[in-house]
Structure 1
Amino acid sequence: MGAQTNTQRSFSNLSKSLPTLKHLFDHDPFTNKPFGLTNIALQDEILSMVSFCSSMALSTTSHELKRFKLTHLFTVIKTSKKPLHHDVLSSVMSLISVNIFRPLPPPSPAFPITSTLAEENEVVVSSTLPSLNWLLLELVYEILLWLVINIDTQTLEKHIDHTFLLGLLSLFDSEEAKERESLKNVFHQIYYKLTKYRSFMRKAMSGVFLEYIFETERHNGIAEMLEIWGSIINGFAVPLKEEHKVFLKRILIPLHKVKGMQNFNKQLGYCVYQFVEKESELGGFIVRKIMKYWPQANSQKEIKLIEELEDLVEKLDPKLYRDLALPFCSHMTKCFKSLNSMVAERSLYMWSSEAFVTMVSTAMEEVFPVILRGMENIIRSHWNENVKELARNVKVILQEMNPILYHKTLHQNRSKQFKATQINRL
């Protein structure tokens, strides 16, 4: 929290040091002549305009006027046939800084990012009511995005530095979903365009992830940042650098264990899949680690992880099936037998995956006893009839795969069960 305070203080100092909005609406923004500020009245008018456009506590009428002026500014910038003068661009960046860089309010009880009342029922509840401030900020972000996309790289580098990037990153914790979406677009475009900042941006985002995983487990922008990372990973060259594999091991894998994982599971899954597609041998490591972080009392999270594992099996190199078959099938059998019917049903539907059936076929001698014992247990004692029916269907699949091994295993399992029953009676 201290680092965040220092960052906000540095932004305040940065915005004060930047040029002000120098009579932008009355002056030709494309001239190369320097602005003349000898007239005291003109300087006062400039300061008044900057103060007005920088205020975040305005009346409804003032908001409308400010929105009108921002719209006009955006139109002037977009319709320009010449590059903006350096001083004008500095003034616009100053206006952007003083508007978007601000301390975020404490988490609102009315709009929590996740509900912590019951881990079983964690959900995302985002604010959908746009504030007057956001209607103004939206325009500021649109101006910033346009500048990042259209200003040449050399010029842009003069107006965006590490402090500016850290400020953007801190705003990802905003409760306003539309602001996070705007930040995602801006941050990604900066990463794409300003290549010299890429390493710094990756490290800065990694720092936010690590704090979320190991300290707070609360942040509003994890999904948006992971979406940026999905695009970044997609661009990694093969073979992967060691630093990129470290990101997978230290951040992407541990993100599976946090309570709110289901709030960003799609973006997280996409990042993981990109690594497997880049280097398929990573698949076995990833599957084992995900199983290690399995939740104990969170059915929604279990279902999300089952879906991710099913997709991973589809992408795995078949050469890995043999070594993974027994630990994977043993783990899934626990899910098959889950007393939560949704978990049990979703895991049993994995038998419709051709890749999973192929994995089972690579190690039938080892996995048949485990799976058949689980199916017999379900049919005998599970409370849900749909789950029982799915278990019967799995037995049919196993029988068709290898009838001789199926009957042999079934006989051995029942003999062991009978002996265990006899011992318990003694």
Structure 2
Amino acid sequence: MLKQFLSKLPRKSSKPDTIESPRRGSGNSSSSNSGDDGGGLQRTTSGTMVSIRSNATKRTSSVVFPSSVVAGIEPLLAFRDVPSSERLNLFISKLSLCNMVFDFTDPNKSTTEKDLKRVTLIELVDFLASCPPKFTESAMVAMCKMCENNLFRVFPPNYRSNSGGSENDDDEPMFDPAWPHLQIVYDLLLHFVTSSLLEAKVAKKYINHSFILRLLDLFDSEDPRERECLKTILHRIYGKFMVHRPFIRKSIGNVFYRFIFETERHNGIAELLEIFGSVISGFAVPLKEEHKIFLGRALVPLHKPKSLGVYFQQLSFCVTQFIEKEPKLALNVIRGLLKYWPITNTQKEVMLLSELEEIVEGINMGEFQKVMVPLFWRIGCCINSSHFQVAERALFFWNNDQIVNLIAHNRHVILPIIFPALERNIQCHWNQSVLNLSLNVRKLFTEMDDGLVVACHAHFKEEQANLSVAAEKRKETWEQLENAASLQPITGNTAVLVTVLPHFVHSLSTYIYILVGETVYMTSQIMFCALGFLRGKPHLSASI
């Protein structure tokens, strides 16, 4: 059947071992594929390799790949059937044959050609896995061109998730229908990059900045298998091509900046952070200013997006690596975390508390004292959280011996900040586990310094009493003001006071007045009446 199909194609004889590669159009893969005229190789019955060219019409490919010319493909000679001196030429010809891209959304379309291309790709992988000859520039060009045609593409809007990275584990990832071929191409690229026979000084002209940028664009793929392959390949490129290292770091930083400050939508942040985590481990000490700026401008603000849970583990590892390299950076990180602290997202609060504990555990006494006041003020707020997981995670700080040692040496500053939160939990927190933990923390402080606990408790009771007196006085003042206002006759330009039920009266902000008439006249009436009572001269209000 295959021979009958191929016999219908027009043939053009050529010299043996002639490579008929597709024409390269503009810089993007769409134009290069659309310019392909179906060039390929076919072996005749005599063993001579001739070029074939198909006049097949163009077909529309899947949303994943640009349009391409689909033509008949026949496997070339096996590598074992040609002399060693000709194997590199055969390698190039097979790469040229694999430049054709098919539609994978329809599994019944071009099945024979897809299978033949897959077999050819597997042969190329096996060839690179064995002992190939030293790569020439022609082989490098053919390899990069084949990867560009098969891998580089623009993801349509409907291909991306609307949420831009969800924290819901129940959301199933989208798998690319072309993955059976993409996986082999990625495996081929990985073998090519890691080959000891590839000279970085020569290959850097082809695996250049443009190639790396387009490789980074693929990290937005929703297929986790593709992102995993990209992570491995980009890390190997970073390790092999030292000349490209600053550019790769800068480009990854640009992806982070766009994600933080513009879109908050990207599928590959976790993988890029994982790459950067291994990069940070290789930084020399003392750190360059460039790396410190990256920590402050990219890694710390990455705690702000709502999808933090997707990449939190990798981000926390990167931050910890920086602090291990230079402990003084812990101050900037803690201040940054407090700056971007979530107000309503309790899951993020739990994550940031765990990261704070890991950071505080590793800093020295001097650095701790510089940041302990705002830090424990925030921890105190978390202790009083009505969400029991946040309160529990904050109270777990006292299970860490290193942190307890830091607290013990600075208890005269920390306990007055924390004690009111502990007492409020003991008095009225709804969760029994949080209540018990609060009691344990107060007991721990009592064992440290009983006199300080007694003084803090007395100060707390005094503050509570003062707050009660102030609230009662404020309530009485407003009641007098309400009564005085109710005695005034109602005219066309007089304010009407709506009485508020006592159980709604907590502060000045709980009063709502419905004002009728001229605004200026109304305001002067209320202010004049209030002034008379506050000065102890109710006759002023009576004279109005």
* TM-score interval for Structure 1 and Structure 2 normalised by the shorter chain: 0.7 to 0.9
Tell me how far apart the structure 2 counterparts of residues 177 and 392 of structure 1 sit (CA, whole Å): 46
Between structures 1 and 2, the one with greater helix share: 1
Conserved? CA contact 1:255–1:261, under 8 Å: yes
Q: Which amino acid aligns with 1:173?
A: D
Q: Does 1:80 align with 2:131?
A: yes
Corresponding residue number in structure 2 for 1:5:
none
Conserved? CA contact 1:99–1:137, under 8 Å: yes
Distance 1:365 1:46, change over 3 A: closer
Conserved? CA contact 1:332–1:347, under 8 Å: yes
Q: Which amino acid aligns with 2:154?
A: P
The one of 405, 411, 414 equivalent to 1:364 is 411
Corresponding residue number in structure 1 for 2:155:
104
Corresponding residue number in structure 1 for 2:463:
416
Conserved? CA contact 1:314–1:356, under 8 Å: yes
How large is the Cα RMSD of the aligned pairs?
A: 3.0
Moved more, 217-226 or 312-321: 312-321
Corresponding residue number in structure 1 for 2:226:
179
The one of 12, 18, 28 equivalent to 1:11 is 28
Conserved? CA contact 1:333–1:374, under 8 Å: yes
Conserved? CA contact 2:95–2:143, under 8 Å: no
Corresponding residue number in structure 1 for 2:472:
425
Corresponding residue number in structure 2 for 1:303:
350
Cα offsets for 1:291-332 (capped at 9, x unmatched): 110111111111111111111111223321222222211110
Distance 1:383 1:148, change over 3 A: same
Displacement of 1:406 after TM fit? 1.4
The one of 70, 75, 85 equivalent to 1:31 is 85
Give the TM-score of the pair, scaled to structure 2. 0.68
Corresponding residue number in structure 2 for 1:208:
255
The one of 137, 143, 166 equivalent to 2:213 is 166
Tell me how far apart the structure 1 counterparts of residues 446 and 310 of structure 2 sit (CA, whole Å): 39
Conserved? CA contact 2:238–2:245, under 8 Å: yes
Q: Which amino acid aligns with 2:97?
A: M
Tell me how far apart the structure 1 counterparts of residues 251 and 136 of structure 2 sit (CA, whole Å): 31
Cα offsets for 1:335-394 (capped at 9, x unmatched): 011011111111111211122212322321122112111100111121212111111111
Correspondence list, 1:234-253, <5 A:
234-253=281-300
Conserved? CA contact 1:172–1:220, under 8 Å: yes
Conserved? CA contact 1:63–1:132, under 8 Å: no
Give the TM-score of the pair, scaled to structure 1. 0.86
Unpaired segments of 5 or more residues in structure 1? 1-7, 37-44, 116-121
Moved more, 227-236 or 73-82: 73-82
Conserved? CA contact 1:369–1:409, under 8 Å: yes
Distance 1:215 1:295, change over 3 A: same
Conserved? CA contact 1:112–1:125, under 8 Å: no
Correspondence list, 1:19-418, <5 A:
25-26=76-77, 28=82, 31=85, 49-50=97-98, 52=100, 54-57=101-104, 58-108=109-159, 113-115=164-166, 122-123=167-168, 127-128=172-173, 130-150=175-195, 151-418=198-465
Tell me how far apart the structure 1 counterparts of residues 457 and 126 of structure 2 sit (CA, whole Å): 75
Cα offsets for 1:24-72 (capped at 9, x unmatched): 9437595379969xxxxxxxx98993454x3344544543332222111
Tell me how far apart the structure 1 counterparts of residues 286 and 335 of structure 2 sit (CA, whole Å): 22
Computing the radius of gyration from Cα coordinates, the structure with the larger value is 2
Displacement of 1:13 after TM fit? 8.2
1:264 partner SS: helix
Conserved? CA contact 2:94–2:120, under 8 Å: no
1:425 partner SS: helix
Tell me how far apart the structure 2 counterparts of residues 10 and 393 of structure 1 sit (CA, whole Å): 66
Conserved? CA contact 1:181–1:224, under 8 Å: yes
Tell me how far apart the structure 2 counterparts of residues 158 and 13 of structure 1 sit (CA, whole Å): 22
Conserved? CA contact 1:50–1:95, under 8 Å: yes
Moved more, 362-371 or 149-158: 149-158
Tell me how far apart the structure 1 counterparts of residues 408 and 392 of structure 2 sit (CA, whole Å): 22
1:248 partner SS: helix
Cα offsets for 1:257-303 (capped at 9, x unmatched): 11111111111111111111111111111101101101111111111
2:306 partner SS: coil
Conserved? CA contact 1:171–1:180, under 8 Å: yes
Conserved? CA contact 1:30–1:84, under 8 Å: no
Conserved? CA contact 2:220–2:266, under 8 Å: yes
Conserved? CA contact 2:98–2:121, under 8 Å: no
Tell me how far apart the structure 2 counterparts of residues 74 and 33 of structure 1 sit (CA, whole Å): 14
Conserved? CA contact 2:99–2:146, under 8 Å: no
Distance 1:124 1:219, change over 3 A: farther
Conserved? CA contact 1:126–1:176, under 8 Å: no
Distance 1:353 1:34, change over 3 A: closer
Tell me how far apart the structure 2 counterparts of residues 168 and 82 of structure 1 sit (CA, whole Å): 26
Corresponding residue number in structure 2 for 1:40:
none
1:322 partner SS: helix
Tell me how far apart the structure 1 counterparts of residues 265 and 362 of structure 2 sit (CA, whole Å): 31
Q: Which amino acid aligns with 1:166?
A: L
Moved more, 355-364 or 8-17: 8-17
Higher relative contact order (CA 8 A, sep 6+): 1
2:207 partner SS: coil
Distance 1:33 1:280, change over 3 A: closer
Conserved? CA contact 2:274–2:314, under 8 Å: yes
Displacement of 1:126 after TM fit? 5.8
Count of aligned residue pairs for this structure pair: 404
**Identical aligned residues as a percent:** 35
Distance 1:10 1:30, change over 3 A: farther
1:239 partner SS: coil
Tell me how far apart the structure 1 counterparts of residues 319 and 394 of structure 2 sit (CA, whole Å): 20
Displacement of 1:110 after TM fit? 7.1
